[in-house]
Amino acid sequence: MTDTPLTKAAKATPPGVARKIKGLSDRAIAWIFVGPTLFLLLAINIFPLIWTIRLSFTDFKANRNREVEWIGLRNYERILTDSDIWLNMQATAHFLFWTIFFQVLIGFTLAYLINKKFKGNDLWTTIIVLPMMLSPAVVGNFWKFLYQPQIGLFNYIVGFFTGKDPSSFEMLGSVQLAPWSIVIVDTWMWTPFVMLICLAGLRSIPDYIYEAAEVDRASKLRQFFTITIPMILPFLMLAVLFRGIENFKMFDLVVQLTGGGPGSTTELTSINLKREAFEKWRTGYASAYAIILFVTVFGLASIYVKALNNVKER
């Protein structure tokens, strides 16, 4: 072995420094640190997605062991022309629209009130937040108990305030009421999320803007519409985006609450998808369905994010 200047230098330097020279480059460390995460996401998110795309062009059934045939776009064709699926889409749209409407309305109002900084507001905020921390399936299950026509607390309270007979209506059993029953529970559960985001938004508005408005003799009402609302709008829109994506995927709460019934009045797309994939075992068909849903969420979300960025830039 010949002594190169480098090895000479290495021998001459104390061990601590030598280790540093031998140590990995920053770039290697970066990849070692990011690698496992990317690998896991590729293995359990991206690879399955690609597999789903592949299955969506076949007539594969996961509970049978027979030759799989390529059937091209036939699954997609069948889904997009199926009127039942459009009914599920409508149920989902109804659920999405009204949950977001009520959550934004109540959530913003609560945030506005909490921002008045009354005494003990953080404790009460925490209590309001409790439902969103809980397991949606378990929540759905116990709301089913509250909604029981004869014995349920919900019917009793409604009856108490309206004078209606508590056994005269069924929240979960009636075609008219069932879609509202899931809206009520979701609103109870997720309003706090919108509230917290609005609260963060309200707290981010600097005081001096209001002080300046006060100097200009702007009325409180005017301040609300020209300062508070425009400043909070990006936050509200973000809250809507998050709730929209989450509720489009909604499964656990509703499946426990109504199971999609009565008939298919509350059969949201996710529940319908589960039925096709894991009860009827039409794997190929369900895969195509899954891809259509994913593309829908992704497409709507991207358009929405563009709109959101426009609002932010204004």
Partner 1 sequence: MSSYSVTEPGKRTKWVAGTLVILYAIITLIPLAWIMLTGFKSPSDAISYPPKVIFEPTLEGYVNLFTTRTRQTPEFLAANPPETWYEEIVRDYDMVIAGPSKFGERFLNSVIIGFGSTFLSIVLGTLAAYAFSRFKIPFADDLLFFILSTRMMPPIAVAIPIFLMYRQLGLSDTHLGMILLYTAVNISLAVWLLKGFIDEIPLEYEEAALIDGYTRFQAFYKVVLPQAATGIASTAIFCLIFAWNEYAFAVLLTSGTAQTAPPFIPTIIGVGGLDWPAVAAGATIFLLPVMIFTILLRKHLLRGITFGAVRK
Q: Which residues within the stretch 174-213 sit at the binding site for partner 1 (CB under 8 A)?
A: 188, 193, 196-197, 199-201, 204, 207, 210-211
Distances (CA, A) of 158 to 82, 146, 185, 255, 262: 38, 11, 15, 24, 21
Structure tokens at 208: 């001096």
- Which residues, listed in sequence order, are joined to residue 58 by a DSSP beta bridge? 70
Among 3, 67, 122, 216, binds partner 1 (CB under 8 A): 122
Q: Which of 74, 202, 301, 304 binds partner 1 (CB under 8 A)?
A: 301
- Which of residues 4 and 306 has its CB atom nearest to partner 1 in the complex? 306
| 252 counts as binding partner 1 under rule CB under 8 A | yes
CB-nearer residue toward partner 1: 2 or 27: 27
Q: 283 with 55: CB under 8 angstroms?
A: yes
User: Position of tokens 């929240």?
Assistant: 171
The residue (of 175 and 225) whose beta carbon lies closer to partner 1 is 225
Q: Does 93 bind partner 1 (CB under 8 A)?
A: no
Q: What CA–CA distance (Å, rounded) separates 158 from 166? A: 7
Please report whether residue 62 would count as binding partner 1 according to CB under 8 A.
yes
Which residue, 175 or 229, is less far from partner 1 as judged by CB? 229
List the one residue from 4, 11, 16, 314 that touches partner 1 (CB under 8 A): 16
Q: Does 48 bind partner 1 (CB under 8 A)?
A: yes
Query: Which is closer to partner 1, CB of 34 or CB of 175?
Result: 34
Tokens, residue 221: 């009402």
* Residue 27 binds partner 1, judged by CB under 8 A: yes
How many residues at the interface with partner 1, by CB under 8 A? 105
Q: Which stretch binds partner 1 (CB under 8 A): 5-13, 85-93, 142-150, 173-181?
A: 142-150
Length of the chain: 314
Pick out residues in 229-248 that bind partner 1 (CB under 8 A): 235, 238-239, 242, 245, 248
| Site membership for partner 1, residue 249 (CB under 8 A) | yes
Angle at 169 between CA 252 and CA 135, to 5 degrees: 20
Q: Which is nearer to partner 1, 153 or 311 (CB)?
A: 153
Pair 311, 237: CB distance under 8 Å: yes
Q: Which of 82-90, 151-159, 175-183, 225-233 is the region at the interface with partner 1 (rule: CB under 8 A)?
A: 151-159
- Cβ-Cβ contacts under 8 Å for 188 (sequence gap 6 or more): 131
- Binds partner 1 (CB under 8 A): choice among 52, 75, 92, 181: 52
The string of DSSP letters for 91-153 reads HHHHHHHHHHHHHHHHHHHHHHHHTT--TTHHHHHHHHHGGGGS-HHHHHHHHHHHT-TTT-H
